Structure 1
Amino acid sequence: MKRHAFVTGAGTGIGRAVALTLAREGMFVSLAGRRAGPLRDVAKEIAAQNGESIVLDSFDVTDPRAVERGVTEALAKGGEVAVLVNNAGEAPSAPFEKTGADLWNRVLGVDLTGAFHVTQALLHSIRRAGNGRIVNIASTAGLTGYPYVSAYCAAKHGLVGLTRSLALELARTDVTVNAVCPGFTETPLIDAAVETIAGKTGRSHEEARASLAGVNPQGRLVTAEEVADTVRWLVSPASKSITGQAIAVAGGEVMGG
């Protein structure tokens, strides 16, 4: 039986790239997300490359009941989950003084508490599967600070902390837990950021995009496929000694001390 990978936020951006990459590696992929349309498009792409997947739509990581329903279906159709990629997230921007409690709670609910819900729901299965892998898609915002995204930075710092804590709890098992921390990546989230910057500053979309690319010392945006390749390595047998790490994929923007 194929190893079973479960990817949240699998319909677009990094989640889509991760799902396609793991399917090419021969895994059965559960595609979890809120919107059916994008998930079905990814499932078609996987089928076109002779891979196997299922669509788990209406999968809201902030709703424990929705998570339980999706996990139950995934286990019934794909068997024990060996690989979990917590990718679901959002990154609205606002000055701290204009960040209301609703925005704060929504971002932490999706980006941090959502990973908690899904990981807790799947951990027993991951341990039963053997050589389990948990990869949390964090961000360089989990390693440093950026203005106007205080909720996002707080959530991603929390996700890195969760990664490290759980990695130590599971260190005597065959389950590893790591975080991947992309810099500004060419995804729909970046498209939204470009729109916001252009709207608020009067700069053109090209100038706004260039300003984000300029944060990367390589002078470019990271691609979703580069992030997916990092995930592919972390879930491979070759990475069994790598756990509790927060790996920046950011062209040198953030370096460990």
Structure 2
Amino acid sequence: MTLSGKHALITGGGTGIGLAIAKALAAEGAQVTITGRRQEVLDEVATDGMTGMAMDVRDEDDVVGKITTAVEARGPIQICVANAGLAEGRATHKTTMDFWRNMMATNLDGAFLTLREAMTSMRQTDWGRVITIASIAGVRGLPGASCYTASKHGLIGLTRAMSEEYIGTNYTFNALCPAYVDTPIITRNTENIAQRTDLSEEDARNTMIKTNRHKRLIAPEEIASAALWLCQPGSESVNGQAIEIAGGQM
């Protein structure tokens, strides 16, 4: 139980990657606060060591208030995983300002607000780990998804800048950059691709699978294992990194 007593906050913790990370941290003894927009979803998936808290990362007042409440209940946040995000492709010439602003508000503004507020209590402790869930789109351009790509590039930049702000301390900041992961997002993207093209849903899904270098979807637990390693002894010198989890070189 290497993380016994440590408070972890995970946004977007009700499904997919966030939930897998929450379970991994809780299994190591962390007290995990998972957030998402729907309280009923969080209550349904929360197991021992996990507490659900509805929070909209796009709303500054909500983020400030809810993180304050979580800290009062479970102590300073020492592990912060900024995972909440949207993943939707749209050609640049079809990208409206509403689409752009909502993507940025969720993927970048939401991460910034989460990290800023988490650091308020983390800085009162002698150890902390910050992990952002970016994407392989954060280290290269993803065709047909310029808005999403820009948001994830920005998230990696935020992570690297914060690592420099706290260099030499016991806080580390790293971004995990997965390729296509087997989550509900894949199901939604499969339907969207099929609707926009002449592809069947099976062919649309295979298009994403073939993009991964090892020709399979990545399990959420693989991302969770990487996040857990960053929170355990032996990872102290890994800081300011964009760690690609893509089944091979991209």
The question of 1:249 aligning with 2:209 is answered no
Q: Does residue 117 of structure 2 align to residue 121 of structure 1? A: yes
Q: CA deviation at 1:189?
A: 1.0
CA contact (8 A) 1:135 1:231 kept: yes
* Residues matched between the structures, number: 247
- Give the corresponding residue for 2:147: 151
Map of 1:87-236 to 2, 5 A cutoff? 87-236=83-232
Secondary structure at 2:161's aligned position in 1?
helix
Which one of 18, 23, 28 corresponds to residue 25 of structure 1?
28
Q: Do 1:216 and 1:253's aligned partners in 2 also have CA atoms closer than 8 Å?
A: no
Which residue among 11, 15, 21 is the counterpart of 2:14?
11
SS in 2 for 1:173: coil
Deviation at 1:253, TM superposition (A): 4.3
Give the TM-score of the pair, scaled to structure 2: 0.96
For residues 50 and 90 of structure 2, what CA distance do their matches in structure 1 show? 37
- Partner residue, 2:70: 74
Q: How far apart are the structure 2 equivalents of 1:138 and 1:218?
A: 20
Q: What is aligned with 1:56? A: 53
Aligned AA for 1:14?
Answer: I
In the TM superposition, structure 1's runs of 4+ consecutive aligned residues that sit over 3 Å from their partners are none
Preserved contact between residue 141 and residue 152 of structure 1 (Cα < 8 Å): yes
Cα pair 1:4 1:82 within 8 Å, conserved: yes
Structure 1 partner of 2:79: 83
8 Å CA contact 1:183–1:249 kept in 2: the answer is yes
- 1:196 is displaced (CA, Å) by 1.1
Distance 1:213 1:36 in 2: 32
Report Cα offsets for 1:95-146 as digits up to 9, x if no partner: 1111000110110110011111111111121122322000000000100111
Output the amino acid matched with 1:25: E
Task: Letter of the 2:195 partner, please give it.
Answer: G
Whether contact under 8 Å (1:61, 1:117) holds in the other structure is: yes
SS at match of 2:56: coil
What is the rounded CA distance, in whole Å, between the counterparts of 2:120 and 2:91 in structure 1?
Answer: 40
| 8 Å contact kept, 1:179–1:247 | yes
Cα distance in 2 for residues equivalent to 1:111 and 1:14: 15
TM-score (norm 1): 0.93
Paired letter, 2:182:
E
Unpaired runs of 5+ in structure 2? none
Percentage identity across paired residues of the two chains: 40
